Amino acid sequence: MGEGHMNDSRLSPADESILKYLRNQVDRLAVEQYRRDAGPNAANEYWYAADDLKAFVSKLRKEGKNI
């Protein structure tokens, strides 16, 4: 398979970017939820971000991507 084939196991640049963003969100919110000045929704925001990341990774794996 050549460089341009979409059915290989590599992530597209767009998917890589989304994955990086979601991972950063989860990392940031994981710490933020325990700060003394965290808002009342900090824990919920973390769980939503973690769920979004899990769903995105699951979708990519179903498409045969290597993560």
Please state, in angstroms and rounded to a whole number, the distance separating the CA atoms of residues 21 and 39. Answer: 22
- Domain extent listing, the chain: 13-62
Whether the Cβ atoms of residue 67 and residue 61 lie closer than 8 Å to each other? yes
Task: Determine if the pTM surpasses 0.95.
Answer: no
The pLDDT tens digits for 12-50 are: 999 999 999 999 999 999 999 999 999 999 999 999 999
Which residue in this structure is represented by tokens 């590599």?
Answer: 10
